[in-house]
Structures are given as structure tokens and as C-alpha cells.
Amino acid sequence: MEENIKQAIEQALSDAPERKFVETVEFAFTIKDVDLKNPANRIQEEIRLPAGRGRAPSIAMFADGEMAAKAKDAGIVVIDPTQIEELGGTRQKARKLAKKHDFFLSEIPHMGPIGRFLGVVLGPRGKMPRPVPPVADPGAIAAGLKDVAIVRSRDKITFHTVVGTREQGIDSLTQNGMEVWKRVTSKLERGAGNIRSFYVKTSMGPSVRVEVII
């Protein structure tokens, strides 16, 4: 599979015109013969990419007081918890927030209001905040997320994940891609036999089919 993935990445990069921004490189899987109505069969994985994400993820935290100061010092975007209800009251604002950041953290007391007002937007996107205990260092938690990709099928047979950026080069993207491929297929009963189709593309480029070896 490694050679097939490498060739598809090469073609995807070649077919995609140069952009004025850093494009991500993404995998799209469509699986078959898997009952995703059963939550036990759904794929929910955090994968540490061996060659990194290619750029630092955007991380935001719902925090105030001392914890907010720690988060700011660590380069984390701080969201005032008093804004939670307002953000949740406007679906467009909530969606914009969810799209803007890759990961969210939160002090534990704010998790309830977040679930109530923002859960409908953050939940389906797999972006509900990770709770941060009072004695924890938000900077350390954020550092642990810098090379992580999330693969989440929910109840959909088609799902996507980022494997890096086009500036990382073929070898690094292939290394990351193989890690994602191995993790996804390891969660399927028949491995590659449960893959109906597998594509790679840049964020705005055409999709290139990867030949799946069963």
C-alpha cells in the first residue's frame, strides 16, 4: 500500500494548482459492510503523525483568571466563558468558531454550558473541548496535540482526515499517510476489505483515487 499511497499523493500534488496559502493534504475513506449504527463499530482515533501536521494547529481554550493567563502565555487563544451563551445563540458565529480552531480546551466548570449552548455545533465536528483540571498545564496539553490528526467516522460511511500540508514533501506525507492507513484499517473487521474507496487530495485540489490492496 505504501507505494500506492505515495503515487496518489504525488499525483494529487501535481494536479493541484499552487495556491497563495498553505494547503492541507487530506485522505477520504468510504467504508462498506460496517454497521455504523452500532457505536462500537465507529472509528474515533487520535493519530500522532510521525512527520507532524506541517503547521501548528489552532487551539482555543475557554478559561478565565489564572488559567486564562497560563493559556495565553502558551500561545493558546483564550475565549471568555461569559461569551459561551452568546456564541451558542447564533449558529453562524458558533460554526465560524468551530471552523477557526482545530482543537478546544476548557476549564472543567465551563464544560456544562459549552455542552448546552455549543454542543450541537462542536459535537458533530468532533471538537468538544478537552477538560483541563485546575492543576494542569494547558500549554503541555496543547503541545501534545501539535502533531495529532483526528479520524472520526461518526455514523457516516465516508469520512476525512488531514495527513499534513503540501509543503512537507512526498516522503513525509507518505509516512503520515501510512500511519493513518494502518490505524484506520486496524479498526475494521476485515481491514482493507472494508474499504470501498480511498482518495487523497489537497484542500482545494481534485481527488485522486488510491488503489486499495486487499
- The answer as to CATH 3.40.50.790 being correct for domain 59-143 is yes
Q: How far is CA 87 from the centre of its chain?
A: 22
pLDDT tens column, 121-173: 999 888 999 999 999 999 999 999 999 999 999 999 999 999 999 999 999 99
pLDDT of residue 124: 87
Cα(61)–Cα(142) distance, rounded to whole angstroms?
10
List CB contacts of 51: < 8 A, sequence separation 6 or more. 164, 168, 171, 172, 173, 175, 176
The x, y and z cell numbers of residue 61, run together, are 481554550
Opening angle at CA 11, ends 9 and 17, nearest 5:
105
Q: pLDDT band for 91, please (50, 70, 90 cuts).
A: confident
Domain boundaries, the chain: 2-54+148-209, 59-143
Q: Which helix (H) or strand (E) holds 151?
A: strand 148-152
Can you name the CATH fold of 2-54+148-209?
A: Ribulose 1,5 Bisphosphate Carboxylase/Oxygenase (3.30.190)
What pLDDT digit, counting tens, does each position of 55-80 carry? 999 999 999 999 999 999 999 999 99
